[in-house]
Chain A
Amino acid sequence: QSALTQPPSVSGSPGQSVTISCTGTSNDVGTYNRVSWYQQPPGSAPKVIIFGVYNRPSGVPDRFSGAKSGNTASLTISGLQAEDEAVYYCSSFTSSSWVFGGGTKLTVL
């Protein structure tokens, strides 16, 4: 299966909002609401911040939100903070397997 497509990098200033896209196909993102997003700070393991396209695990700030339109899912981070600087990955589960995006490095200016 092919990897999901994410922009390599995005940036924003503190307080601003940024959106990271994640484009798949009708075989994954387009058909299933099984998109999750992960935040990976340098030197750390990934941590889930969005699951089921829109849902936040407990403890994740509501500044993080997810959406989906057609074959593209998106992660929006509002009110950017310095601690949000990390690499963000999307993932989708199809009928039997997982696929990840290539990752997007968020730089807080």
Chain B
Amino acid sequence: QVQLQESGPTLVKPSQTLSLTCTVSGGPISSGTHFWSWIRQHPGKGLEWIGYTYYSGSAYYNPSLKSRVTISVDTSKNQFSLNLTSVTAADTAVYYCAREDRLRSFYFDPWGQGTLVTVSS
């Protein structure tokens, strides 16, 4: 079965760029029937969708983050990545990667375990 795993720095300094990678195992990222998303959860808060990408490289972002976000895909490594620029303490959150199923309906499954990224000097 498909599994997702986030990786990257857990501590980022203010004004720098947060970079995370999601490695997909158990199936090809280029399946064509799925999209690949990043979602974050501020400590003790709800879920916030960041954006998604497709194996072709196209991407779509949450309008509230669009100016700072880039999501890219590397089919050769079966990975997709998140870059969030000019971070502040408000970007401290658990970051999840997830697969979007759009074949039967629209939902996220599976999810990675999540990684806590702290923005602090």
**Interface pair A101/B46, CB less than 8 Å apart:** yes
Q: Report the separation of the CA atoms of residues A14 and B110 in the bound assembly, to the nearest whole angstrom.
A: 29
**Interface pair B49/A51, CB less than 8 Å apart:** no
Q: Which of A3, A98, A99, A101 contacts B37 (CB 8 A)?
A: A98
**Interface pair B46/A36, CB less than 8 Å apart:** no
Q: Which of B46, B109, B113 contacts A3 (CB 8 A)?
A: B46
A-contacting residues, B90-121, CB 8 Å: 96, 101, 104-109, 111-114
Q: Which of A45, A51, A96 contacts B107 (CB 8 A)?
A: A51
Q: Which of B46, B52, B63, B113 contacts A89 (CB 8 A)?
A: B46
Interface of B is mostly: strand
Residue A91 interfacial (CB < 8 Å): yes
**Interface pair A45/B96, CB less than 8 Å apart:** yes
Number of CB contacts from chain A to chain B under 8 A: 64
Residue B74 interfacial (CB < 8 Å): no
**Interface pair A48/B108, CB less than 8 Å apart:** yes
Chain A residues within 8 Å of chain B by Cβ, number = 26
**Interface pair B101/A51, CB less than 8 Å apart:** yes
Residues of A within 8 A of B (CB): 1, 3, 32-34, 36, 38, 45-48, 51-52, 55, 57, 89, 91, 93, 96-103
> Which 6 pairs between the two chains have the least Cβ-Cβ distance?
A52-B105, A51-B107, A36-B107, A93-B106, A98-B49, A34-B106
Residues of B within 8 A of A (CB): 37, 46-49, 52, 60, 62-63, 96, 101, 104-109, 111-114
Given contacts A96-B60, A97-B60, A101-B46, 6 further A-B contacts (CB under 8 A): A34-B105, A36-B105, A48-B107, A52-B105, A57-B109, A100-B49
